[in-house]
Amino acid sequence: MRDDYSFNKENSGELAKQVVFEPSKAVQTSETSHGVKYDQVISITGVNGRVIDVKFGWIKNNDGVVRLVTAIPTKKITGTKFMIEEYDIVESIKVLSDSVVVGCKGTVVMIYTDPILGYEVEFMAANGETLDVLTVYPDDIRLLD
């Protein structure tokens, strides 16, 4: 048995069987003029029998067809928006209010998944004073290590 996942042209069908959009497990992340975007984590079993969780990005286009956009192994997602949990420390990556500018740090106090993925974040000044409590979205923040 090989120690890697070893998907190739000959066994790509085995991978394709595992990569299936499931609306009940997908989390809506945003709506664009092209359609609705979703994230879904799928456990993929490699030909070596090892399992890794992979975050798949999908878009349901305005024509109703769901298309795969991207796939990222979750073990390599450190510092991205996908793995954010309650009480994680995050940083704003855009101006979010008069008091919360790029680089402000905050604590995630709540996570929303319906109707789309969002976070309630308490942003703090360096002296510990609360700057603002805002509902933000994955494209607004990044997870700090």
- Label residue 10 exposed, middle or buried (CB < 10 Å: 0-12, 13-18, 19+): exposed
Q: What is the pLDDT of residue 85?
A: 84
* Spans in the chain with pLDDT lower than 50: 1-3, 76-82
- Provide the pLDDT for residue 5: 55
User: What residues contact 80, with CB distance under 8 A and at least 6 apart?
Assistant: 72, 142, 143
Domain coordinates in residue numbering, the chain: 12-76, 89-143
* pLDDT of amino acid 64: 95
Q: What pLDDT does residue 79 have?
A: 40
Q: Are 101 and 67 in contact (CB under 8 A)?
A: no
- Per residue in 29-66, pLDDT tens? 999 999 999 999 998 888 877 777 888 999 999 999 99
Q: The pTM is what?
A: 0.52
